[in-house]
């Protein structure tokens, strides 16, 4: 079954949307934050812990799973859901971002991208067709087209050429797609240029993808540029299809881009922050390595319903982090993922009540402090 998107409500004072996404492995509400399970696991967490965080969907990484253990092994196991024992929805990315960001030496051609295997140095070629074939075997609920991820800054001419290549690759991937249980998303590129974003959207919609991703953000741009890029895409995207913003997980970016009309977000930040001792809270990010938490026997957040906050104190988690105990990163990962998912729950409530702009004001005041001068873009 292809995914089905129900647009339940548009917020009265913004582009924010309340929706439902139906998949073969369950239904979830949007807006939704999606934890990243790069190697078919969200770092240090079990699937039971993810469910306890109210996780609606997770992301797995095509590039890494292609290299280890290989798509054939996962196919033999019965697909990614069975391989990792996750019975909820899964989205796989195309592998494009990892090739462009991780491969130190790469050669972009019309055929695809040539690069060296980071594990053994073998020469590899990832094409639009190969990316789709891998994802078809992984059998995720949602697959991504293979695109050229444009860095920032980039000239207009480079972005124009890159968009045309992304569109040609999207068509090739669409033609190669062969899994009736899966849905395929096109990826909108175009850098910071509205006419290129609009052109990319218009050409992708002619190919009639099942949903659309907004790419080329979180590549070094400032917040004003990011929000502009997103608006340049959502402004032209079809209202009846899902919008997914790739690689964005800063809380304020989630708030602003929900207002801009985005439905799904993903980012590695909650687990990466956890591994460095950082916790996300209603009142901002805190660093539990700080000495002031040594005798703090309160939870990370009194308001949080996650396993870590219900059972452990800042002082204990600080001790674990200082001793480099895995449990510390695990507890903080649980908390940070739950925080971001709860943030999207609050945003859904604000959309229902047509008070998303008021919610943004409250969020900024709590997260950054009363005296913080936040510039709205």
Residues annotated as part of the active site: 93, 266
Q: Nearest Cα to 40, choosing from 73, 11, 80, 67?
A: 80
| HEC string for 277-290 | CEEEECCEEEECCC
| Residue 70 near residue 37, CB atoms below 8 Å | no
Q: Which phi and psi angles does 212 have, rounded to 5°?
A: -140, 140
- DSSP-based three-state secondary structure for 264: strand
Separation of alpha carbons 107 and 212, rounded Å: 27
Q: Nearest Cα to 316, choosing from 330, 304, 342, 298?
A: 298
String of DSSP letters for 7-57: EEEE-TTSS-EEEEEEETTEEEEESEEEEEETTSS-TT--HHHHHHTT---
Separation of alpha carbons 73 and 377, rounded Å: 47
Q: Which phi and psi angles does 323 have, rounded to 5°?
A: -90, 5
In the numeric block, which tokens belong to residue 55? Answer: 């996780």
Q: Provide the pairing of β-strand 90-92 with 58-60.
A: parallel
Separation of alpha carbons 262 and 257, rounded Å: 6
Separation of alpha carbons 239 and 200, rounded Å: 16
């Amino acid at each position: 079954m292809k995914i089905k998107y129900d647009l339940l409500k548009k917020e009265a004072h913004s582009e924010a949307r309340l929706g439902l996404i139906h998949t073969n492995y369950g239904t979830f509400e949007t807006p939704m934050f999606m934890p990243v399970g790069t190697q078919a696991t969200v770092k240090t967490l079990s699937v039971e812990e993810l469910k306890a965080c109210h996780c609606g969907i997770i992301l797995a990484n095509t590039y890494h799973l292609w290299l280890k253990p290989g798509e054939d092994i996962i196919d033999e196991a019965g697909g990614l859901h069975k391989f990792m024992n996750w019975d909820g929805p899964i989205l796989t990315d195309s592998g494009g971002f990892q090739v462009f960001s991780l491969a130190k030496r790469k050669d972009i051609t019309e055929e695809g991208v040539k690069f060296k295997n980071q594990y053994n140095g073998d020469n590899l070629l990832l094409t639009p067709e190969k990316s789709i074939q891998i994802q078809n075997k992984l059998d995720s609920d949602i697959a991504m087209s293979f695109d050229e991820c444009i860095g920032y800054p980039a000239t207009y001419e480079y972005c124009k050429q890159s968009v045309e290549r992304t569109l040609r690759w999207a068509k090739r991937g669409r033609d190669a797609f062969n899994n009736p249980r899966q849905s395929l998303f096109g990826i909108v590129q175009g850098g910071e240029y509205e006419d290129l974003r609009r052109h990319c959207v218009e050409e992708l919609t002619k190919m009639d993808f099942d949903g659309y991703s907004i790419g080329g953000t979180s590549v070094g741009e400032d917040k004003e540029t990011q929000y502009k890029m997103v608006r340049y895409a959502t402004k032209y995207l079809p209202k009846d299809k899902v919008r997914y913003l790739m690689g964005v997980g800063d809380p304020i970016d989630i708030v602003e881009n929900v207002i801009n009309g985005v439905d799904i977000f993903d980012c590695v930040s909650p687990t990466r922050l956890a591994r460095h001792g950082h916790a996300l809270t209603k009142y901002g990010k805190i660093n539990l390595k700080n000495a002031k938490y040594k005798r703090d026997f309160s939870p990370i957040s009194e308001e949080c319903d996650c396993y870590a906050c219900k059972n452990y104190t800042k002082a204990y988690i600080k001790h674990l982090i200082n001793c480099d105990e895995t449990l510390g990163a695990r507890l903080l990962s649980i908390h940070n993922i739950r925080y971001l998912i709860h943030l999207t729950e609050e945003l859904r409530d604000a959309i229902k009540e047509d008070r998303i702009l008021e919610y943004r004001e409250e969020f900024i005041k709590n997260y950054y402090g009363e005296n913080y001068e936040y510039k709205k873009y």
